[in-house]
Structure 1
Amino acid sequence: MARVTVYDVAEKAGVSTATVSFAFRHPDKVKDDTKAKVLRVAEELGYVPSGNARSLAKGRTGTLGMYAFDMLLERPQGSNLEDDWPDVSPRSIDEPLDGDEPNVLVYPLYVDEVLRGFELECWKSGKGILMGAASERDDHRSVTDIAGRVDGLALMPSGYNDALPLSMLAKTIPLVMVGVGDEKLPAAYLQCDNASGMRQIVDHLVEVHHINDMAFVGGVNGGACARGTDADDVVSRYDAFKKYLEERGLDSKGALLDDSFATSDEYMVGLCEAIGSGRLPQALVCGTDQTAFGVIRLLEEAGVRVPDDVIVTGFDGILAGRLMEPQLTTVRQPMEDMGREAARMLLSRNGEPWEKAERRVLPVRLIVRGSCGCNQKI
């Protein structure tokens, strides 16, 4: 089948080739109705803009792509914490470190470990890698540019993904959606076993620490989409948390203590109100490790001791949780393996898109440390 060109799209849409190009590369310069028409026609025809690679023989580039909105963090998440977080590791938050030490609150994180696995698998397979990230919500240019240069594309979770022409891309190249739960596209969906991880946390709190009053902290009502990270995973974890509370006969009506997100102007207000009114539960189960770091910080500033006064747990298993004091009890995702698996799934398609959605779920394990009252160090 002949490759669809910009001329084909322009002819069917009744616009100039320049308008087609602008619809992808400078969408802010095209009227909304014209842009929508061009994108609709492009999707129908299976057109993807390309700088060079897809014009090569057989349309193969020998390269895989990784795309995200937030591949890097400059400072710890939490708008009301960023100004006073020192640039040191959590092990000695109040003591400066000598030299140019990395801040493990911003690196390495979930995305960094996934990317490492993706790069390692590409290297092992002799494939190149392209990285891309959007600079704004409707950044069609960045995603279509990278898609036109690779044989497959892995996308990290983002609330902004829905604003991109992914349904069009899914018809042209294989896509792997990492950490995304909603199977909207003919693509591969790769997640960790959030339900199993949450069951392990609840079981441990109930059976080992005899906790019967616990609550969840994390953005589950669309808030995480504002930053573009964790949304599906956090919602899945919260749903599982409620389910397992109910299975054990525990009250789930007040299961969500704070659903704010990192860039919200009211970040952790719910937690602050609970601290101020003396309504803290026995344990706070956080949707991510990064959320748990902010929770522990606020509790300590309020004179609430972890774990003596309240237990705190996380989810993800990033390095910072092992270096802080107390060390964070968490569920470890196989993040490097997720990156490797994403690359392997793309390689298996040899540039051919999926015909229907395919899901793979990787196992997780509970890591018990000091923030729950256990002294075990792993």
Structure 2
Amino acid sequence: MAHRTTVYDVAERAGVSIATVSHTFRQPERVRPETRELVLAAARALGYVPSGSARGLAKGRSQALGLYAFDMFLPSDVNAPALSLDDLVRRELDGRGDARRFPLYVDEIQHGFEIEARRLGRTVMLGAGASRDSLGSIDLAGSVDGLAIFPGSAGRDLLEHVGRGVPVVIFSSPPAHDPMHHITVANEPAVRELVDHLVGHHGHRSVAFLGELAAPDIGARFRGFQAALAAHGLPVSAEPFDATAMTQDSLRPLRAAIAAGDLPRALVCATDQLALAVLDLLARHGLRVPEDVAVTGFDGIVAGRLSEPSLTTIRQPFASMGRLAVRILTDTIAGREHPRSYVLPTRLVLGGSCGCG
């Protein structure tokens, strides 16, 4: 790894004391906004993150790896009114808590990450925040020896900034010409196989894609969907049928199609979590799955296996992705070389939601 930029470099560039630099990252409320912005600009220019090893020695900690998720909370969760602990416990015990709110694929990758870290004698630090706020990810990067990231809609410049200070692994992101490691799955061929099943086995000729294309992996799944339709001689849409985001006001095009009685015969959802929301919406409108419309997902989360009907989906090797990230980070820290990109296989899992239960 290149020589790590120090607090002294940032202080010199910003024209402030090293204490001011430290307070900017540790206690930003103690620094005037204009000074704070000056320090952050210097840090961005130099690719600085606070020294994880130095802080570890100062606090008696070491051997830590980080796992950070950008933009993973739904607006309905973030903006929900605050509840007392008693109310939260009561809601959960009464079965009124929604176990599908936080993206469950994050949980499953985290499980593999933590198991492998423990096997190698490493501790794990977790972080989450909005991509527009770089301080959270920079702060965590400065507290650990290596960092794995769920990028969400975080900008490439921010990810590369973090990656200039510590080894970084990006999940669900295709290979790129950058210094970071990438772990993803074979999204396009997986969706082609799924559509081949819907068209070839079930004979569906009206098949639609639902999903927001902002994330690179979702974009790859849509390209696989388009390629499969073209191979079967079916009309290829330039945009998803419903480019929905997971918000309280999502699925408008789908709702409109239901109201107009013009629903496609099969709905290919970009994620399992979206597919589960679609199942709920269809049930509220009295539509049967798969008799009236087939629904499929992508991820293979446990909630999809427990849904009614069980979800036809593409299963990702979540635990293996988490374990691989830990091995990449620990090997890189030790000076061992690793390929920059890994594309892991997937598996088509047939369930009742397409009629194969």
TM-score under structure 1 length normalisation: 0.79
1:88-167 superposed matches below 5 A: 103-106=98-101, 109-134=104-129, 136-162=130-156, 164=158, 166-167=159-160
C-alpha change, 1:239 and 1:30, in structure 2 (3 Å) is: farther
Matched, 1:349 2:350: no
Matched, 1:17 2:18: yes
Partner of 1:260, secondary structure, is coil
Describe the superposition over 1:322-375 as per-residue Cα deviations: whole angstroms up to 9, x where unpaired: 1111111111111111101111111111255989x8110111111101110112
**Please, which runs of 5 or more residues in structure 1 have no aligned partner?**
80-86, 88-95, 223-230
One-letter code aligned to 1:330: T
How large is the Cα RMSD of the aligned pairs? Answer: 3.4
Distance 1:309 1:338 in 2: 36
2:188 aligned residue (168, 179, 195)? 195
**Please, which runs of 5 or more residues in structure 2 have no aligned partner?**
81-87
Please identify, of 8-17 and 153-162, the stretch whose mean Cα deviation from structure 2 is larger. Answer: 8-17
Describe the superposition over 1:12-59 as per-residue Cα deviations: whole angstroms up to 9, x where unpaired: 33344355346545399236973563134322xxx32136646759xx
1:281 aligned residue (257, 264, 272)? 264
1:214-233 superposed matches below 5 A: 214-220=207-213, 222=214, 231-233=215-217
Distance 1:256 1:324 in 2: 25
Distance 2:334 2:233 in 1: 50
Distance 2:53 2:331 in 1: 23
Preserved CA contact (<8 Å) 2:24 2:36: no
Distance 1:177 1:156 in 2: 6
Partner of 1:366, secondary structure, is strand
Preserved CA contact (<8 Å) 1:187 1:354: no
Distance 2:284 2:179 in 1: 48
1:40-79 superposed matches below 5 A: 40-43=44-47, 47-50=48-51, 53=54, 56=57, 61-69=62-70
1:298 aligned residue (281, 292, 295)? 281
Distance 2:44 2:275 in 1: 43
One-letter code aligned to 1:41: A
For residue 275 of structure 1, report the CA deviation from its aligned partner: 1.1
Distance 1:144 1:351 in 2: 22
Aligned to 2:42: 38
Matched, 1:363 2:345: yes
Preserved CA contact (<8 Å) 1:69 1:133: yes
Distance 2:75 2:44 in 1: 37
C-alpha change, 1:192 and 1:5, in structure 2 (3 Å) is: same
Query: Which structure ranks higher in relative contact order (CA pairs < 8 Å, sequence separation ≥ 6)?
Result: 1
C-alpha change, 1:76 and 1:312, in structure 2 (3 Å) is: farther
Distance 1:116 1:183 in 2: 26
Distance 1:266 1:101 in 2: 21
TM-score under structure 2 length normalisation: 0.84
Describe the superposition over 1:98-130 as per-residue Cα deviations: whole angstroms up to 9, x where unpaired: 766975424781001100000010111111111
Aligned to 1:326: 309
One-letter code aligned to 1:61: S
Partner of 1:115, secondary structure, is helix
Identity, % of aligned pairs? 42
Please identify, of 254-263 and 323-332, the stretch whose mean Cα deviation from structure 2 is larger. Answer: 254-263
Paired residues, what number? Answer: 342
